Amino acid sequence: MRNELLEKYYHVLKMRMSKLSSYIQRASRRRSTYIKEKEFEMLVLSRKPDESIIIGRTVEVRVCKVKGNQVTLGITAPADVTVNRKEIQDAIDKQKEETSKL
């Protein structure tokens, strides 16, 4: 009797997990968009505060807060991964290029 009951619950759980998995797949397709940006494609995701995305299993980008048109992001990354704002990285690259020309 107990085995039959466990087997029944197992099948119900398996069916629900399958439905949940397909729901998650559909939801992820709806909420993401690819945009052609220069020579690369850009994945555009919608995130709410306290939601995050993972990049390469080691970098997490979390939306901390949204205030008007400003978004505060929190980034968790290993020490060997450099994280810069784009304008800072562009300035660093420009300086390296200028010093390599000398």
Judgement on whether residues 96 and 53 belong to the same structural domain of the protein:
yes
Report helix, strand or coil for 53: strand
Q: Domain limits at 81?
A: 47-102
72 with 65: CB under 8 angstroms? yes
Report helix, strand or coil for 32: strand
Q: What is the model's pLDDT at position 27?
A: 57
Q: What is the model's pLDDT at position 3?
A: 72
Sheet holding 52-55, edge to edge: 52-55, 59-67, 70-76
Judgement on whether residues 51 and 101 belong to the same structural domain of the protein:
yes
Judgement on whether residues 97 and 75 belong to the same structural domain of the protein:
yes
State both tokens at 93: 């690259």
Judgement on whether residues 13 and 52 belong to the same structural domain of the protein:
no
pTM (2 d.p.): 0.58
Judgement on whether residues 63 and 25 belong to the same structural domain of the protein:
no
Judgement on whether residues 26 and 68 belong to the same structural domain of the protein:
no
Q: What is the model's pLDDT at position 102?
A: 74
Instruction: Quote the number of domains for the chain.
Output: 2
HSE-up of residue 27 (Cα within 13 Å, Cβ side): 8
Q: What is the model's pLDDT at position 42?
A: 78
Mean pLDDT by 10 residues, the chain (102 residues): 69 69 58 63 86 92 93 94 92 91 77
